[in-house]
Amino acid sequence: MKTATIMNGKALAAKVRAGLKTKVADYKSKHGRGPGLAVFLVGEDPASDIYVNAKNKACVEAGYKSVVIRMPENTPTEELLAAVEKYNKDDTIHGILVQLPLPKHIDEKKVIYAIAPEKDVDGFHPFNVGLMYSGEEGLYPCTPAGCMMILDEYNIDPRGKHAVVIGASNIVGRPMSALLLRADSTTTTCHIYTQNLKEITRQADILVAALGKPEFVTADHVKEGAVVIDIGINRVDGKLVGDVAFEEVSKKASYITPVPGGVGPMTIAVLLDNTLKAFEATL
């Protein structure tokens, strides 16, 4: 039995980041400046701290200016908004990212809306969401955009294919569906109220799992020869696993992303790519 080709997001991310590093060095030599990213971390969430440190390290390696603003757990919304506004006006910073989730007392929506759209490298501002849905170029959410890069790297064209996304969050599921639709796939979005889920997922030529349930997608969810993208990251007994039962699904799929080493590394690569795009728009 032929097992699936593993789509190596780690290797692709390294390639993307190396390309960005070369571009940044070129811009610095031509213009005397390069891109800058400001990342806000509010509170002491350990997972968020790991992500922020990884983003900072990636920025520094690629030659970006990197600023990490750490604020205490009890920071009021207005204080965070004032800090964001400071970097909206800073012309050495081209990308602003507020690490989510924020502490419960902070108005998350208000903070996202406060980031200048042209610096919204997470792609969450309604202006950028509107550009994405209307087919315009803009700054798109990093994880879904990274998934599209993976498909492109493995010459998988969504056009005319049936793509099914399990998950409808504003951060991953919905933008993933939007980008697949833009790529001319017939796209179905499944969520907690979807009935007969397996009947739908078994129709998928491209199946994307983004629901946050460890190893939920099993072989009987998957059509023979489907392309499977696993966005989930779950810790089970100290081990990282995705939303897809990798061992059994990889025997049925034609292509599959692993966890770890699949979609995850692409998220930071796209963050850097978005920051460079935001910088290029100022030249």
Which whole number is the average pLDDT over 205-217?
97
pLDDT band of 45, cuts 50, 70, 90:
confident
- CATH class name, domain 32-116: alpha beta
Task: Identify the sign of the CA torsion 4, 238, 98, 213.
Answer: positive
Active site positions, annotated: 55, 99, 122
- Over the stretch 14-27, which tens digit does the pLDDT of each residue have? 999 999 999 999 99
Q: Which pLDDT does position 47 carry in this prediction?
A: 86
User: Which residues are annotated binding-site positions?
Assistant: 167-169, 192, 233
Give the whole-angstrom CA distance, residue 34 versus residue 55. 17
Helix axes 173-182, 142-153, angle to 10 degrees: 40
Q: Model confidence at 221, in pLDDT bands (50, 70, 90)?
A: very high
Residue 1, pLDDT score: 63
Residue positions forming the annotated binding site for NADP(+): 167-169, 192, 233
Query: Average pLDDT for residues 80-97, to the nearest whole number?
Result: 98
Residue 71 has pLDDT above 70, yes or no: yes
CA distance 43 to 10: 29
Q: Where are the domains of the chain?
A: 32-116, 141-264
pLDDT band for position 2 (cuts 50, 70, 90): confident
Q: What is the mean pLDDT of the chain?
A: 97
Q: What's the rounded mean pLDDT across residues 242-246?
A: 98
Euclidean distance between CA atoms 210 and 174, whole angstroms: 10
CATH 3.40.50.720 matches 141-264: yes
Q: Distances from the Cα of 72 to the Cαs of 42, 50, 75, 76, 98, in angstroms? A: 6, 16, 6, 9, 14
Angle, helices 126-133 vs 173-182, to 10°: value is 30
